[in-house]
């Protein structure tokens, strides 16, 4: 990710080398765990496989395993939330500074004495807090977490993970059109598109089924 690569304090080309290694390791580990949960879970339980393999069967033991899993989720979401939200925060704050350059609320800073004196931008604190509260409330209103995440993942998988990288590779490497490599890449892209459409359709069907018994903040 550009947001992570930009924080690495290393002169080029070591920066790209570090990111390449980190990406390879992270993708490999993620793929192994996803395949274990997806393929083996479905092979063992079929269509009865719950969205949460640890608690979906009504058993909450061993407790230490659930605690470790919940802690891992917190660590994952805290990091992912920052990575994906920082560009949005920066965009809104930059736009607001251009729109109201004379506003002390938007561009000014207030000194807050704690253990040391911190300078806090009130607009940044207000806007980011409101955003976090809003997203938290929305997430609490969506109890069918698996179907919503599946739908969003299906929407983002093909264009961001397959289509754009494939097209950039074709342009960068100047792959001749209708060559064997070009045809294979296009077949990969079309196949992943079909998978994304099928996953989106399944998620929509799941959401539709969940809405029949849905009560905000209760179910």
Q: Which structure tokens are listed for 81?
A: 């939330």
Instruction: Give me the pLDDT at residue 156, please.
Output: 85
Q: Tens of pLDDT along 66-103?
A: 888 888 888 888 877 877 788 889 899 999 999 988 88
- Scanning 10-56, the segments in alpha helix (DSSP H) are 14-35, 41-45
The residues with which 118 forms a beta bridge, in sequence order, are: 112
Q: Tens of pLDDT along 194-204?
A: 999 998 998 88
The mean predicted confidence, pLDDT, of the chain is 82
- pTM value is 0.63
Handedness of CA 213, 207, 128, 113 (dihedral sign): positive
Instruction: Give me the pLDDT at residue 129, please.
Output: 92
Q: How many CB atoms lie within 10 A of CB 191?
A: 12
Q: Is the peptide bond before 62 cis (omega within 30 degrees of 0)?
A: yes
Q: Which structure tokens are listed for 189?
A: 């892209």
Task: Sketch the domain layout of the chain as residue ranges.
Answer: 1-49, 56-140, 143-219
What lies within 8 Å, CB to CB, of 214 at 6+ separation is 143, 144
Say if residue 190's pLDDT is above 80: yes
Burial 107-120 (b: 16+ CB within 10 A, else e): eeeeeeeeeeeeee
Instruction: Give me the pLDDT at residue 104, please.
Output: 87
Residue with tokens 């938007």: 106
Instruction: Give me the pLDDT at residue 183, please.
Output: 94
| Cα–Cα distance, 30 to 24 (Å, whole number) | 10
Residue with tokens 């509260």: 133
Instruction: Give me the pLDDT at residue 5, please.
Output: 55
Q: Which structure tokens are listed for 187?
A: 């077949």
């Amino acid at each position: 990710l550009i947001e992570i690569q930009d924080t690495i304090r290393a002169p080029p080309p070591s920066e790209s080398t570090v990111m390449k290694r980190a990406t390879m390791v992270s993708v490999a580990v993620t793929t192994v765990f996803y395949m274990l949960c997806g393929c083996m879970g479905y092979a063992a339980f079929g269509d009865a496989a719950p969205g949460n393999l640890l608690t979906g069967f009504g058993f909450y033991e061993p407790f230490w395993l659930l605690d470790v899993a919940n802690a891992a989720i917190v660590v994952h979401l805290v990091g992912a939330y920052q990575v994906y939200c920082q560009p949005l925060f920066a965009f809104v704050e930059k736009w607001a500074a251009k729109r109201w350059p004379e506003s002390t609320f938007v561009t000014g800073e207030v000194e807050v004495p704690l253990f040391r004196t911190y300078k806090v931008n009130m607009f940044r604190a207000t806007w980011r807090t409101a955003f976090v509260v809003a997203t938290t409330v929305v997430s609490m209103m969506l109890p069918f977490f698996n179907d919503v995440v599946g739908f969003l993942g299906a929407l983002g998988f093909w264009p961001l993970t397959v289509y754009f990288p494939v097209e950039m590779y074709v342009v960068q490497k100047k792959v001749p059109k209708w060559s064997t490599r070009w045809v294979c890449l296009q077949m990969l892209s079309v196949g992943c598109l079909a998978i994304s459409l099928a996953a989106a359709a399944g998620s929509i069907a799941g959401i539709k089924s969940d809405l029949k018994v849905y009560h905000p903040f209760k179910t």
